[in-house]
Amino acid sequence: MSASRRYQDVACELRQLIRKRGMKTGERLMSERQISDEIGVSRSLVREALIMLEIEGLVEVRKGSGIYLSTSPDQAAPPLRDDIGPFELLQARQLLESNIAAFAAEMVTKNDIIRMREALEVERRGIEIGDPDYSGDEMFHRLIAEATQNSVLVDMVQELWRKREQSPMWARLHDRIFNADYRSSWLDDHRVILSALQSKDPQAARQAMWQHLENVRETLMELSDVEDPAFDGYLFQPIVQVR
């Protein structure tokens, strides 16, 4: 498998598996857990591969039922080439932004803290009125990068958010999610991060950001599970933080 787009390799293996088994239109695919065990990859990669195949029109998602074959692999749209898997993107953010938060805790100013509080207020108001806009969320993460006073780090964070906004796979992942209550929990996470920054505690800031993005990843994995709404928490192999 290539290191850059592993979910594409998993999608290719799934197409081959569909052909090998002679599956017909309308047949239900194996569960994500079964695919994960058979191919030997994490469930997050299987989720990303299936989202890709859904966008291509090869499979159809039925909430609470599973994923079904919509057409033959030879009749589906051409594979996506330039998109990034949503869980791959979150992993990159977790690695980068946790360390940015630690550095920001050393460099943050009073004005930075004031601006971050304003961003959280924008986020809070949006959640309160049910606005699907994530501008307050994005603003908060960008302001943490700006607090490092390092323009390269700011550009890196902004580029990750740009990739998210332009990602068909990220949009399709969110199409599967109907309950937005998780956003309040994420706002609580942001408050913990802000408290660590205000205390100028690099280790606490790093841990708070790491845990926040771990919570984001696990929440999206659970809420986008079309086969089992009461998913038991076995998500996928997490990366381990090195302290």
Distances in Å between the Cα of 241 and the Cα atoms of 136, 187, 213, 216 are: 27, 22, 12, 16
Closest CA to 43 of 241, 240, 231, 242: 231
59-62 and 66-69 beta bridge pairing = antiparallel
Phi, psi for 183 (deg, rounded to 5) = -65, -30
The answer to whether residues 145 and 104 touch, using CB atoms and an 8 Å cutoff, is yes
CATH 1.20.120.530 maps onto the chain at 86-223
- To the question of domain 6-69 being in CATH 3.40.47.10, the answer is no
Alpha carbons 221 and 167: distance in angstroms, whole number: 17
Closest CA to 172 of 74, 70, 80: 80
At how many degrees (to 10) do helices 86-107 and 135-147 cross? 50
CATH 1.10.10.10 maps onto the chain at 6-69
Collapsing DSSP to helix, strand or coil, 68 comes out as strand
- pLDDT tens, position by position, for the chain (243 residues)? 444 588 888 988 998 888 888 889 999 998 888 999 988 999 999 999 999 999 888 998 887 788 899 988 777 666 666 788 899 999 999 999 999 999 999 999 999 999 999 999 999 999 888 887 888 999 999 999 999 999 999 999 999 999 999 988 898 888 877 677 888 999 999 999 999 999 999 999 999 999 999 999 998 888 888 765 443 333 334 444 544
Radius of gyration of the chain (CA): 19
Alpha carbons 165 and 145: distance in angstroms, whole number: 18
As its CATH architecture, domain 86-223 has Up-down Bundle (1.20)
Alpha carbons 208 and 211: distance in angstroms, whole number: 5
Tokens 């307050």 sit at which residue? 136
Q: Amino acid identity of 203?
A: Q
Alpha carbons 70 and 153: distance in angstroms, whole number: 43
**Is-above-0.85 flag for pTM?**
no
Give all strands (DSSP E) within 2-87, no chain letters.
Answer: 59-62, 66-69
